[in-house]
Structures are given as C-alpha cells and as structure tokens.
Amino acid sequence: MKTPKILAVVMAGGEGKRLYPLTSERSKPSVPFGGRYRIVDFVLSNLINSRINAIYMLVQYKSQSLIEHVRRAWSVPSTLPGQFITVVPPQMRAGSDWFQGTADAVYQNLNLIYQHRPDIVAVFGADHIYRMDVQQMVRFHLESEADVTVAALPVPREEGSSFGIIAAEGDGRIREFLEKPKAPPPMPNDPNRSFASMGNYLFNCDTLISSLEAAHGRGENDFGHHILPRLLQSHRVFAYDFSTNVIPGTRDYEEQAYWRDVGTIEAYFDAHKDVMGLKPCFDVFNLHWPIYSSNYQGPVAKFIGGDVENSIIAGGTVINGAKVRNSVIRREVFLEEDVEIEDCIIMDYVRIKRGSRLRRTIVDRYNVLEADTRIGFDPEADAKLYTVSPTGIVVVKAGRPGLQGPFGSVPPLILDR
C-alpha cells in the first residue's frame, strides 16, 4: 500500500466562551494545562508522534499568546522539506470576513492545500486532552476505501445526548449524524454505547476541495452541520473507533481511550485530577509517546519547608512553609508561610502571601494574593470579586504581565498569557 502524503490543518481559533475568564486574554487552545503544557500541545504532539510533520495551524480569536507559544515551543528544523508547523491567521483571501466556521476557515486557506497537493488532509481540533496515533486512523481510512473518516469515541448511551452522535453500519460506514439526540443509537457491536464525534477528520484531498467549494457556493460554513451530512449522500464516509487506537507505553491503570473536551471550567478542573496521583487515569509521563511543550530554562522547584500531598509542582516554584494538597502548581509560583492550598490550580508567576487559604480555586497568571486571603469558602463573597462556576469553582482572572511577578519584575522575554 502506497504511503500517502498527509497535510494536517489544526483548527486553533476557538474562542472558548465557556472557559471564561481563562479565555479573557487568550484563545482556548492556548490555555495552560497541567504543570507545563498548553491545551494545543496535545494535538501537536499527537501529529508529530504520528510522523505527520506538515502542519498548518489556523488561528483567529486572541491569538497572540498561541502564536508566541508555538514560536518558542514548536520550531521544526527547516532543513528537511515538507516539515513545518506554521501559524496562519485569517488572510481575507475570499473577502473581508473572518473565519465564519470550521469549513469556512479551511476554505479560506485552500491555496495552502493547492500548494502542497497532499493525498489526505487531516483536519483536527486543538482543544482536547488525549493521545492518538493518527497513522492507525489513516490505515483504517485506506483499508475502508473511504473518502472521509471521522474519529469516533464510544460513550455510554445514557450520556450520548450530550454529544454529536454517529449512526454507523457494522463496517463503520456512517448512515447519519445526530446532534445531541434524546435516544442515541447504539454502536454496531455494542448495544450499551454510542459513537460520539471527536471533531477530527481525514479527507481525501479532492473530496475536501470539491465539498468546500460547493459549500461556499451554498453559504454553508461548518463541517459537522453542513459538509459531512451532505457527503453521506454521495461519498464513502466512515467512523474510526478511537477505542481501538493503541498507544505504546500506556499503563494498565490508565483509561485506555482517554479523551476529554475541556471546554468548561468544570471539565478543565476535573481533567487536572485525571493526571494526578500515583496511578492517574491519564499519565502524562510516557517515554514512548511524549507530550511536547516549551523548553523551560528556569530553575528547579525549591522546597524550603511545608507539606505537599498528591500535587504537581512545576519548575521555579518556591514552597516556603505552605501546605499543598491535591493541586497543580505551575512555574515560578511563590507560596509563603502558613499558606494552605487544597484542590487548586495555580498558574505561572503567582505569589500567595502568608496566611492565605484557597480551596477549589483556579488562579490565573501574574497574580499577587495578599496575606490572609480567603477564596473558596464563601460563595457570595467570592462572586463579588471573582468568577464562580455553577459547581462552585472559583476563577481568579489573570493579572497584568510585566509589572510584578513572584520574584519581582518578570523579564519581557518570557511574558505571555
């Protein structure tokens, strides 16, 4: 079987309204995750680990943070032809409009596809936490003689009404797309689960070009709502079962088909719990399938004293007599004496002064919390100062970068949001 030439188009323009205020100054793919990553690092790592090295990333909403992150963390050697990760803002090539939807974003950049003329175009989202060997999906695509393949995640049928659901035949050929149906159809070989679309697609190049041109003529702009349902009538459209995807190095204690859409504060918060502990259900440490990110050159973490339990502590952080439990503490955070942090996410360049108590709180970057601050104990008081999610998670909006970090003024070269 001939090895196909693959071009990846990563959709990274998401506004992420439900993640506000974490997205008040950055796009959803640029939101930090875990001890050292951004959300976008997961899709890029999956593509690179899958030997797909020609990648265009389409950005739009508050994209500067994402552009700076990709510039610093994702430089690809230019000596080898066909290997690149290039950020593409709206070019207005088809008119004066910004991207009007996922399909319109790719349509406005068809010139890039014409230029490379690949056999297959992988159109992937940039806002999920998961590992995936895309080459296994490509193999299924070729063996099925598909024109389009949609990555599908098996979910319990009782949860299917929260997803876009795929009705498929036994061989995976898709009959119908159903948007959050009340009675989700079962998978062909599993009456207890349904296929949910993951928003990741493989297109034969000619099929993609012709369908985008036709959709533009009809004023249609979305893959899920417009392009794919129409292609069902005329093309071979298949569902790839993500649960069959095997990643080397995955431990027995992990959730084998782990995939999370971290599109809400609750989902984002819960996904951090999934990477913590001695046997996490998603173990970020995997030598065979690493998640890449920025090459941080700062100091190691320093523990002057205190008590840390089941937590992730990133480089440059100083814990000086604080108690930290079930929390993620990112880079260059300073926790002073008698600070207590429980079930929290503390992002980069934050200083929390002595006597403060935080519970079920996300503190975004560049904040200084004064002595004896209390967050997460009085919902009414918290709501007057911060954003509080429906389940009571408190989010402290990012401070102003460049003015004051935990160790003084933050050097301009590392300023980002």
* Same domain, residue pair 224 and 306: no
* Same domain, residue pair 256 and 319: no
Encoded amino acid at 87, one letter: V
**What's the confidence (pLDDT) of residue 1?**
63
CATH number at residue 336: 2.160.10.10
**What's the confidence (pLDDT) of residue 414?**
46
* Same domain, residue pair 256 and 306: no
CATH number at residue 187: 3.90.550.10
For the chain, percent helix, then strand, then coil, each to nearest 5?
25, 30, 45
Q: In total, how many domains does the chain have?
A: 2
At residue 335, the 3 state secondary structure works out as: strand
* Same domain, residue pair 128 and 234: yes
* Same domain, residue pair 255 and 313: no
The first and second tokens of residue 39, run together, are 């959300």
**Of 189, 187, 201, the residue nearest 141 (C-alpha):** 201
Encoded amino acid at 249, one letter: G
Whether 214 maps to a domain, the answer reads yes
**What's the confidence (pLDDT) of residue 402?**
59
| Residue-number span of the structural domain to which 132 is assigned | 6-261
Whether 181 maps to a domain, the answer reads yes
- Residue 164, annotated ligand binder? yes
Whether 287 maps to a domain, the answer reads no
- Residue 179, annotated ligand binder? yes
**What's the confidence (pLDDT) of residue 411?**
47
**Of 240, 275, 270, the residue nearest 255 (C-alpha):** 275
Whether 34 maps to a domain, the answer reads yes
CA–CA distance, 7 with 161 (Å, rounded to integer): 33
- Residue 62, annotated ligand binder? no
Cβ count within 10 A of residue 149? 26
Find the angle CA(15)-CA(18)-CA(19) to the nearest 5 degrees. 80
* Same domain, residue pair 256 and 314: no
* Same domain, residue pair 346 and 202: no
- CB 193 within 8 Å of CB 157: yes
CA–CA distance, 382 with 361 (Å, rounded to integer): 10
The first and second tokens of residue 395, run together, are 């989010």
pLDDT along the chain (417 residues), means of 10: 90 89 94 96 97 94 90 79 86 64 88 94 97 98 98 93 90 92 89 93 97 90 88 96 96 96 96 97 96 90 96 96 98 97 97 98 96 97 96 94 54 46
Cis amide linkage into residue 411, ω under 30° from 0: no
Which residues, listed in sequence order, are joined to residue 153 by a DSSP beta bridge? Answer: 196
